[in-house]
Amino acid sequence: MRYMTTGEAARLCGVGINTVKRWIQKGELKRVITPGGHWRILEHEFQQFLKTHDMEPLQPRLKPLYKVLLIEDDQAMCSLIEGALELAAFDIQFDVANDGYTGLMKLGAMQPDLLILDIMLPEINGLELMQRIRSSDSCSNPRILVITGAGDRRIVKRALEKAAPDALIFKPFTTKMLIDCIEQQMNAVPLHSRCSM
């Protein structure tokens, strides 16, 4: 069972996101709501909608699917990042962990292409997580984007130099900064590691 974002449905239909939201509000297209409050559409419901309205998707469904794992304990930040991922120009399978220990387990199961990581986490902090990932012999070697609100940036930067994330964003940041950074990291994912739908 695969869920689509409203942005993905809009791109496939050649319409704006607001048009897709109007279809949902009129009851023409069914949706579910994520714990973060975002709308998702079951792929088979979308296919049924296309058939009912005699529409053809604008692009083939066989394209890269990027797997993104977010490890963050702040629910507001989780919602903000999930919203940014919806606006990014990629098909994304997304999951969240709210502490380092759960994140480590999900990392092994999911094998994400991109890991978005907070530094200050319960259980295992972000710096230790990166050290474990970088020193592991497992096949999972995701791009790592660190988001931090640490006050003394010099201390954090020194610690991060050793941990070697692929990208770093300090809070506060704009949604555009975040989307640009996410897209840059996804474009750097090797083609052979991407999953096709």
Tokens representing 29 are 């297209």
- The pLDDT value recorded for residue 123 is 78
Distance, in Å, from the CA atom of 70 to the CA atom of 72, rounded to the nearest integer, reads 6
Between CA 165 and CA 69 the distance in angstroms is 15
Q: What is the pLDDT of residue 70?
A: 92
pLDDT at 196: 38
Q: How confident is the model at residue 35, as a pLDDT?
A: 74
pLDDT in tens, 107-153: 888 889 999 998 888 778 888 888 888 777 665 688 999 988 765 66
pTM: 0.66
For the chain, list the domains and their CATH numbers: 3-52 (1.10.1660.10), 64-196 (3.40.50.2300)
Structure confidence at residue 145 (pLDDT): 92
Can you list the residues of the chain whose pLDDT is less than 70? 1, 36, 59-64, 89, 137-140, 150-153, 156, 190-197
pLDDT (0 to 100) of residue 114: 92
3-class DSSP state for residue 176? helix
Instruction: Report d(CA 26, CA 134) in Å as an integer.
Output: 49
C-beta of residue 100 within 8 angstroms of C-beta of residue 123: yes
| Beta-strand pair 114-118/64-71 | parallel
CA distances for 51 relative to 8, 24, 45, 55, 74, angstroms: 17, 16, 10, 6, 40
Contact 97, 69 (CB under 8 A): yes
